[in-house]
Structure 1
Amino acid sequence: MTINPFTVAGSRSLAVQVLENRPNHVYAKRIEEEYNRQYAIASEARSKGLDPSWKVESQTTYDLAERVEKSVGPLGVAARIRELSKLISREETALKISEDIVLGHFGSLEAEEAAEQAIRTALAVLDEAVTVAPIQGIHDVKIRTNVDGSKHLAVYFAGPMRSAGGTEMGLTMIVADYVRRQLNIPPYHASEQEAMRFVEELRLYERSIARFQYRNPDSVLKDAIMRLTVEPNGVETDPVEVSVNRNLMRIETNRVRGGALRVVNDGLLGRSTKVLKIVEKLGLEGWGWLAMMKTSSSEGEEAKEFMFMEDVVGGRPIFAFPGAAGGFRIRYGRSRNTGMASVGVHPATMEILGGFLAVGVQMRLERPGKAGIVNAVDSIEPPVVKLIDGSVMRIDSPQEAKALRDKIQKILFLGDLMVGYGEFLENNRALVPSGFVESWWAQNECRNSRTTRSLSNREPVRQLDYPRASEFLCIQHTPTSGAS
């Protein structure tokens, strides 16, 4: 018979605390009771032995700490995570937990076992234990030998490591180095050929398997491998072999190791700016060289504006090129139906684009991230079109767009694309200038409300030192010098 999900020590009491502390605890309590009922049915069904497993694989957890303990362990770490989370940041918590594991606070382990457990648990804390990266992304952790006979730490990554996200992948190498220092293991010394093998392998992966999110120069990649104090190794992920740097003593396979490539290229180097900020905040030494890498790998430079266009699949529509007049205008904000990695598009825009953009469709974006899920938002600027008869209209509703769709000669403006500020923060991208939107104009008007009590009196409005509201202006993408 399967163990009830609440028989784990502390789980039931924690569940009660979590539910009672919520403002909508009655609603949450009802969901919990229904969940318990269905879990019991599933457990009873599994107990009959008709399935490959005798128990329900999914376990019940109520917070990050419990997810970490049940997914990667060690036993008893949940209480320590809750204690630390109240005092320090998540990154500091991850490092402190890894230190506690190495020092034997959760049981005595051999050096290799302690290093592996510490790195897995720290990564689970960093990615909130919601991806497979801590379980399947880290294949193994070994203590190996340098050419000079000294020991070094090696982390073997696998393909699922990419699910952790760029920053978390980069921080895994930071944690591994921290664990190495705690265990007093000497640093890794890469050979020239091993560094060149990494570069060859990465370029082969780009040509034969898939593109990376960032493109770093060969010199930067080689320099990074030579500077790393922990060996980024891995298992083969694809049946493609290198042709030049083969049969190296410390690299067990001639095939590409996608997990290790992504950790270094998209994680440590691709997110070097964000990783370096965290490293400096934590006061860790030995990573100052990342400052020299961030200029080469940072996205958003003018030369890389069009890189995202290379991923366009044949047959998919391209709505606008970067910075093109008439394309989407960025609008900062969120709606009730736009969440993480989601963008808002006016429903009239969806209609005039022939339905290619619909709720739930994924758009490839220039910035701030790789893509965004489309949702309809009718409170942002709608599209502007030129009709066959030569008239120009702003289409305020999908019904109007549907009625005029066959009469549209040209789309002059696609409307606003609403993106949350948090998306730029999460992707470590610089904010781009916002248009002078109505809400901005309204705030200025409120400050000057004593001067302009009535908008019907035009003279005081003309005397204000800010532009008119965009709703009352003709669309101007490229105004000439001296235009007002």
Structure 2
Amino acid sequence: MINMDIDSYFNKIQEEFNTAYAVASDARSKGYDPKPYVEIRPAPDLASRVEGLINVEGLADIIRAVEKGQSRNKLAFDVAKEICTNDRFSNYEELKRIELAVRVGVAVLTEGILVAPTEGINSFAKYKNRDGTDYLCVCYAGPIRGAGGTSAALSVALADHCRRIFNISDYKPTEDEIERYMEEIELYHDRIARLQYKPPEQDIREILRNCPVCIDGMPPGTLEVGVHANMKRT
């Protein structure tokens, strides 16, 4: 009996929503507003929300096809792989395909309700290591913080997942580049915003030496590094 009442309750909400949306659509169609339609589309599930956020038609069907009751983490990686390998996206250039896969993966991780996947990742690029091999670089922006630490970190793992599919080599930082990262982290921690947790220097260096994707980002302030400046790749 309780379940039936709950079902009736949600059905009533859906009916009222449909009525309100129809009224809004009719009002917009009269041409008195900047857009002749309601900009926010209904999104009844995660797949619809992600498609609406990323604005690529057909994403919802792909997500539903691989979802199968999986955890959000597993789903994010499976969807990213599907985008990288599905012939539907064969007309995308390699970097554009990786970019779409990572953004969609992060959107899945954040339930399709945050701007982190679209505004928190600025760009993707492919550069050369000193040995001539290619590596993937991801440039982040401030809104990635809204995703939370776990999803932000998993976005790097998603980028690694995708670059492996396309046989892009690991990022091989030089010692000068590692020191540049160290200097920036200290400056950010001391002069811009105190980090909730700052790992020991040894741990940070270990991560930098072994992270297969180059992590770059938009400047959070106007401070300049004092020692490791004017570096070509950072």
Structure 2-normalised TM-score? 0.89
Aligned equivalent of 1:58, options 40, 50, 66: 40
Instruction: Give the corresponding residue for 1:205.
Output: 188
In structure 2, distance between residues paired with 1:238 and 1:51: 38
Instruction: Give the corresponding residue for 2:61.
Output: 79
Aligned equivalent of 1:230, options 186, 210, 213: 213
In structure 1, distance between residues paired with 2:175 and 2:34: 49
Q: Secondary structure at the match of 1:220?
A: helix
Return the offset for 1:56: 3.0
Check if 1:38 corresponds to 2:12. Answer: no
Instruction: Give the corresponding residue for 2:160.
Output: 177
Instruction: Give the corresponding residue for 2:126.
Output: 143
Alignment of 1:15-30 (within 5 A): 24-30=6-12
Instruction: Give the corresponding residue for 1:427.
Output: none
In structure 2, distance between residues paired with 1:44 and 1:238: 46
Q: 1:129 is aligned with what amino acid?
A: G
Q: Per the alignment, do residues 219 and 107 of structure 1 end up closer, same or farther by CA in structure 2, a change over 3 Å counting?
A: same
Return the offset for 1:169: 1.1
In structure 2, distance between residues paired with 1:115 and 1:35: 37
Find runs of 4+ consecutive structure 1 residues off by over 6 angstroms.
Answer: none
Percent of paired sites with the same residue: 39
Gaps of 5+ in 1: 1-20, 252-484
Aligned equivalent of 1:96, options 78, 88, 104: 78
Counterpart contact for 1:156–1:235, Cα < 8 Å: yes
Counterpart contact for 1:100–1:106, Cα < 8 Å: no
In structure 1, distance between residues paired with 2:182 and 2:124: 22
Q: Per the alignment, do residues 246 and 79 of structure 1 end up closer, same or farther by CA in structure 2, a change over 3 Å counting?
A: same
Instruction: Give the corresponding residue for 1:239.
Output: 222
Alignment of 1:277-426 (within 5 A): none
Instruction: Give the corresponding residue for 2:105.
Output: 122
Q: Per the alignment, do residues 57 and 243 of structure 1 end up closer, same or farther by CA in structure 2, a change over 3 Å counting?
A: farther
In structure 2, distance between residues paired with 1:71 and 1:32: 21
Aligned equivalent of 2:95, options 77, 102, 112: 112
Q: Per the alignment, do residues 54 and 149 of structure 1 end up closer, same or farther by CA in structure 2, a change over 3 Å counting?
A: farther
Return the offset for 1:75: 2.7
Q: 1:164 is aligned with what amino acid?
A: A
More helix by share: 2
Structure 1-normalised TM-score? 0.45
Cα deviation digits, residues 121-165 of structure 1 (max 9, x gap): 111111211211111111111111112221111111110001111
In structure 1, distance between residues paired with 2:225 and 2:211: 22
Counterpart contact for 1:74–1:117, Cα < 8 Å: no
In structure 2, distance between residues paired with 1:41 and 1:55: 11
In structure 2, distance between residues paired with 1:184 and 1:46: 49
Cα deviation digits, residues 366-402 of structure 1 (max 9, x gap): xxxxxxxxxxxxxxxxxxxxxxxxxxxxxxxxxxxxx
Q: 2:122 is aligned with what amino acid?
A: H
Counterpart contact for 1:141–1:153, Cα < 8 Å: yes
Alignment of 1:242-281 (within 5 A): 242-251=225-234
Q: Per the alignment, do residues 177 and 36 of structure 1 end up closer, same or farther by CA in structure 2, a change over 3 Å counting?
A: same
Return the offset for 1:240: 2.3
Instruction: Give the corresponding residue for 1:439.
Output: none
Cα deviation digits, residues 39-79 of structure 1 (max 9, x gap): 33434454455555444332210111111122115432323
Counterpart contact for 1:74–1:106, Cα < 8 Å: no
Return the offset for 1:208: 2.2
In structure 2, distance between residues paired with 1:23 and 1:107: 44
Return the offset for 1:195: 1.3
Q: Per the alignment, do residues 127 and 23 of structure 1 end up closer, same or farther by CA in structure 2, a change over 3 Å counting?
A: farther
Count of paired positions? 231
In structure 1, distance between residues paired with 2:171 and 2:202: 19
Counterpart contact for 2:89–2:97, Cα < 8 Å: no
